Amino acid sequence: MSTLTITTIQTSLHWEDKTANLQMLEQKIQQMQKTEIVILPEMFSTGFSMKPELLAETMEGESVAWMKRIAAQQRIILTGSLIIEEEGKYYNRLIWMLPNGQYGYYDKRHLFAYAGEDEHYTPGHKRLIASVKGWRVNLLVCYDLRFPVWARQATPLTEADAEKNETEYDLMIYVANWPERRNHAWKTLLQARAIENQSYVVGVNRVGKDGNDIYHSGDSMIIDPMGEVIYTKAHDEDIHTVTLQKEKLEEIRHKLPFLEDADNFIIQS
């Protein structure tokens, strides 16, 4: 059965300083052990800033070029979100960068109105489910975690689809800048998403204070399809690598076929 090796980078970020963040993250990536996917926090080049007019880049900009170079040099898939401008609109865009320079992207669907994100950014309307080594990966950003319908495994459209016994995805990744003051919700909801979708779940958060004096405790987590925590770390910067087992995932879904009883629904954006 297939395995998938992932590395999470829980780090402090230099506030609105792209050059410093890219240099810092490159040093961390160059020092890590062999891996297949490296996951960075939300807005990893700037921190969670509401100044896209000053900080946004295009898809031909410095940070995307940096992702392409690092992914190629290290032979990894690199993912995290950036502030991207496109046709006069700003997006909190998660990029899934392959070693060959090809990429997919997901624009954050649920914008954090409590911090005014909806006043500066445009929401996305399509999910991104990537494929690697026979694994399907659902990619999401921070506040999306509070909305279970957007993350829910899709039900089979036809009887033929149901007979294949295939789920929509096997791994869900959330990249975040989630404040410590609400870390109970972060930890609880990550486990809930794993249990209800019978999927591995990875949440990668930052640590330290941002430019608004908001403290982030990290609490990055890797969770198995039963909701058991494989890894978590609070407060400190940390790089962690783990190999996920597809065999364990399939065994759980076979022994406990709860997804077969799920409600049929269609997401309309």
Q: Among 182, 170, 256, which Cα is nearest to 219's?
A: 182
Q: What is the largest CA-CA distance in the chain?
A: 53
Angle, CA of 53, 85 and 171, to the nearest 5° = 120
Query: Is 42 among the residues known to form the active site?
Result: yes
C-alpha separations of 203 from 66, 73, 131, 209, 260 in Å: 23, 25, 18, 19, 26
* Percent helix, strand and coil across the chain, each to the nearest 5: 30, 30, 40
C-alpha separations of 57 from 35, 105, 235, 243 in Å: 28, 15, 30, 33
Q: Count the Cβ atoms, other than its own, within 10 Å of residue 229.
A: 14
Residue 123 in contact with residue 140, Cβ under 8 Å? no
Annotated catalytic residue, options 18, 68, 108, 233: 108
Q: End-to-end distance of the chain based on CA atoms, in angstroms?
A: 36
**Which H, E and C letters describe 164-182, residue by residue?**
CCCCCCCEEEEECCCCHHH
Query: Is 251 among the residues known to form the active site?
Result: no
Query: Is 237 among the residues known to form the active site?
Result: no
Annotated catalytic residue, options 18, 68, 117, 142: 142
Q: State the pairing for strand pair 207-209/171-175.
A: unpaired
Q: Among 192, 185, 174, 181, which Cα is nearest to 217's?
A: 181
Annotated catalytic residue, options 16, 36, 42, 57: 42
Catalytic residues: 42, 108, 142
